[in-house]
Amino acid sequence: MRKFVFLLCFIFAQYVMFHTAIAQKRIPRNFPEYGFFLNKQQLYLQELLEFLRFPSISASSEHLKDVQGAAEWLRNRMLGAGISNVQIFQVGKYPLVYASIPAAVPQAPTVLIYGHFDVQPASVEDGWNITKPFKPRVIQDKIYARGASDDKGSLLSVVHAVEAILAVSQGRSPVNIKLLFEGQEEIGSPDLPSWLLKNRKLIQSDLLISADGSMHSENIGSIVWGLRGAGAIQVNVTGPSHDLHSGGFGGVVQNPIHCLVKLLESMRHENKSIAVEGFYEGTRPITQKEKDFARQSIDFEQELSRLAGVSQLAGGESELFDTVERLWFRPTLDVVGIWGGYMDQGIKTVLPANAYAKLSFRLVQEQVPEKVVEKMIQHVSQHCPAGCSCKAFDLGFHALPFESDPDMLSNQVLRETLLDIYQGEEPKYVRSGASIPIVGFIQKEFQIPAIFLAFGLPDENIHGPNEFYRIGSMDKARKAYVSFLYQLGERYHLEHSSKKPIESHVVTTSPMENVEMDHSEL
Work out whether 345 is an interface residue with its own copies (CB under 8 A).
yes
Task: Spell out a b/e string for 263-294, using b for 16 or more CB atoms within 10 Å of the CB, else e.
Answer: bbebbeeeeebbbbeebbebbeebeeebbebb
Least distance in Å: CB of 147 to its own copies? 13
- CA quadruple 441, 447, 451, 453: dihedral positive or negative? negative
Indicate which single residue of 45, 64, 338, 471 sits in contact with its own copies (rule: CB under 8 A).
338
Least distance in Å: CB of 288 to its own copies? 21
Work out whether 132 is an interface residue with its own copies (CB under 8 A).
no
Q: Under rule CB under 8 A, which residues in 83-122 are in contact with its own copies?
A: 120-121
Indicate which single residue of 29, 77, 146, 362 sits in contact with its own copies (rule: CB under 8 A).
362
* Cα–Cα distance measured from residue 430 to residue 299, given in angstroms and rounded to the nearest whole number: 12
Indicate which single residue of 341, 424, 472, 501 sits in contact with its own copies (rule: CB under 8 A).
341
Which residue, 189 or 487, has its beta carbon nearer to its own copies? 189
* Cα–Cα distance measured from residue 28 to residue 9, given in angstroms and rounded to the nearest whole number: 9
Work out whether 129 is an interface residue with its own copies (CB under 8 A).
no
Indicate which single residue of 148, 208, 298, 351 sits in contact with its own copies (rule: CB under 8 A).
351
Least distance in Å: CB of 397 to its own copies? 5
Work out whether 64 is an interface residue with its own copies (CB under 8 A).
no
Work out whether 309 is an interface residue with its own copies (CB under 8 A).
yes
* Eight-state DSSP code of residue 152: I
Which residue, 334 or 513, has its beta carbon nearer to its own copies? 334
* Cα–Cα distance measured from residue 203 to residue 214, given in angstroms and rounded to the nearest whole number: 23
Least distance in Å: CB of 71 to its own copies? 19
Work out whether 381 is an interface residue with its own copies (CB under 8 A).
no
Work out whether 334 is an interface residue with its own copies (CB under 8 A).
yes
Among residues 485, 442, 522, 453, the alpha carbon closest in space to that of 205 is found at: 442
Which residue, 63 or 491, has its beta carbon nearer to its own copies? 63
Work out whether 320 is an interface residue with its own copies (CB under 8 A).
no
* Cα–Cα distance measured from residue 416 to residue 411, given in angstroms and rounded to the nearest whole number: 9
* Cα–Cα distance measured from residue 126 to residue 146, given in angstroms and rounded to the nearest whole number: 12
Q: Are strands 142-144 and 468-470 parallel, antiparallel or unpaired?
A: antiparallel
Indicate which single residue of 140, 170, 314, 519 sits in contact with its own copies (rule: CB under 8 A).
314
Tell me the residue length of the chain: 522
Q: Under rule CB under 8 A, which residues in 262-281 are in contact with its own copies?
A: 262, 264-265, 268
CA trace torsion 479, 481, 487, 488 (10° rounding): 180
Lay out the sheet containing 402-403: strands in order across. 402-403, 222-227, 428-432
Which residue, 106 or 251, has its beta carbon nearer to its own copies? 251
Q: Are strands 402-403 and 350-351 parallel, antiparallel or unpaired?
A: unpaired
Work out whether 332 is an interface residue with its own copies (CB under 8 A).
yes
Least distance in Å: CB of 321 to its own copies? 9
Least distance in Å: CB of 513 to its own copies? 24
> How many residues interact with its own copies (rule CB under 8 A)?
101
Q: Under rule CB under 8 A, which residues in 402-461 are in contact with its own copies?
A: 432-435, 458, 461
Which residues, 6+ apart, have CB-to-CB distance to 462 below 8 Å?
A: 120, 149, 150, 456
Indicate which single residue of 152, 228, 383, 476 sits in contact with its own copies (rule: CB under 8 A).
228
What is the secondary structure of 348-359 as a DSSP string? --EE-SEEEEEE
Indicate which single residue of 382, 464, 495, 499 sits in contact with its own copies (rule: CB under 8 A).
464
* Cα–Cα distance measured from residue 297 to residue 222, given in angstroms and rounded to the nearest whole number: 10
Q: Give me the 183-222 binding string for its own copies, x by CB under 8 A, dash otherwise.
A: ---xxx----------------------------------
